[in-house]
Amino acid sequence: MTAWWSMFLIIGSTVISATASYLFKKASKSMWLQLITNFNFLGGIMLYIVSVAATIIAYKGGELTVLVPLGSLNYIWGSLIAVWLLNEKM
């Protein structure tokens, strides 16, 4: 049986991961040598670390057959962010 907190944690992890992807996209507009001081790049790395930690904790509380499909919400959030914040077309 998969715990509710585990499912909510996975969903939150996907939101954090999609936000990290958005920050990486914003950071990619700068020169490679400036990435070390780019706050979007550093924020993206930190958010990915938080997302991975949350995912690992969530996996302890449930079955993979339930949690892994929820992890694919990351693609939906990423697409919505791309359309809303980056004005990209689907």
Q: Is the pLDDT of residue 32 over 80?
A: no
Q: What are the tens digits of pLDDT across the range 34-88?
A: 767 889 999 999 999 999 999 999 999 999 999 999 999 999 999 999 999 999 9
pTM: 0.89
Q: What distance in Å separates the CA atoms of residue 37 and residue 42, rounded to the nearest whole number?
A: 8
- For residue 43, what pLDDT is reported? 95
CA dihedral of 25, 27, 31, 35, whole degrees rounded to 10: -130
- For residue 34, what pLDDT is reported? 74
Query: Which is nearest to 11 in space by CA: 82, 77, 83, 84?
Result: 77
- For residue 29, what pLDDT is reported? 81
